[in-house]
A and B are shown apart, each in its own frame.
Chain A
């Protein structure tokens, strides 16, 4: 991690949603930094709190009655304690956001150009004509052909990829310093996904903004991110540089994520590229992570991942691991109760193509007999929706 003053610094952020069944601890003490002009990727399953933490940055969870604590420092101001109106001035201006489904994220009854004009005029006192010219410029910048004609069309006249481009254009009209991209490619065709990611990379190079990209797809962050934070059950369990995360992952959940992506040639080539230094794991089979994401109302005791972790020890059900830097790698933080040497030995086995059970035996880990199997791991708990959005 670089050492300059970060653009965004999230400190011990907690977001709770009081509900009828209990309090949903959507984000449970998360800290991360985004440096100017850099890209942080947040990776996790549905319900890991990755979207909620970014929506909270923009104050968009306030309306849903979220209880927020911690600090979100942006350019010397704490966004958590700002008034609604001050936060509104930052939204879409200094910090912009694009969303998962461009199909539903644009208002169906307004022309695309008008929606961009609204974004400009929400923050700048410029005449409609100038705002429209800006909208046309931006539509051209994001690669929409014939922007002077497209600006007067409605979203339903755009294809999915074009709509996401229009969303990106709308996010960029006010030259944001930080762009939050929440699963920007998930709803798109694979070929279009690559185009959108390439577009975002180009725009970042040209405009110099920082990007916070949220995804469940390691392939996406492999291509885009400088740093990666892996979230599980509302917490960050591992955070390090992108290269290091793919070459030396230390958290069993990260291992699970890496082993559960298809590594066929041609697919997730960015990931392959990232792994090229040491080569991909030998085993080509997809290995799912057993069990389901835990309830965020009653999270498991101790390490939240222990019900699904093949390597958990008896005391892991009681002790809650802290996110700590590795002694020899200050830029690499892991929240795992295993010793760093044990973890490295285990990953070496897994990388060589061994199963977790084989790896445990090889590493001589004192372990409970049965390994959790898919479907029966963890106590059956109601699935928690990602967030009441």
Chain B
């Protein structure tokens, strides 16, 4: 499901035009990004938490050339699903 399909789905459920849904989605995304940049955790009830985590700097060694490289620290966005969502996902049959 890509962005367009998501907007269509939301618009259908809201009984609103796609443009409105698109603007709202954009605003929400921008808000979330802004909050994450401020190093805040965002919790969506029954869905999960968005959180910024710091990955420490580390030393990586190239396996074949043995060149050691210092990888700088970085901040990444992490999502942790809520248990409610986890339970819902149990309904999906697993087929290998």
- Check if A and B associate: no
B-to-A contact residues, CB < 8 Å: none
